[in-house]
Amino acid sequence: MSRQSSRGAAWEALRRQVLERDQYVCQYCGAEATEADHVIPKDAGGRDELDNLVASCKPCNARKGNRIGGRITWFNRRWLAGVG
């Protein structure tokens, strides 16, 4: 966990909002999501805001690490179909 990891009641409430918004579906692979991932990592200036968070399964969140979302090479095809 990074120095800038989010914790506490406010983070848990925001995490639940993200998971509910994304219907508990990982936005990277389509599996069941249990975590909220920062698209722009906090150490790169990302914030704890709904528009910077997506639902993620634990393996995808770990795999992405602190890379910026646009630099990863795998995405949920259903999500990609809705972009544009």
- Each residue of 39-79: pLDDT tens digit? 888 988 999 999 999 999 999 999 887 777 555 555 555 65
Q: How confident is the model at residue 5 (pLDDT cuts 50, 70, 90)?
A: low
pLDDT at 25 over 80: yes
46 alpha-carbon distance from chain centroid: 12
Distance, CA of 66 to CA of 39 (rounded, Å): 9
* Better pLDDT: 4 or 82: 82
Fold type of domain 9-81 = DNA Binding (I), subunit A (1.10.30)
User: Where are the domains positioned within the chain?
Assistant: 9-81
| Mean of the per-residue pLDDT values of the chain | 82
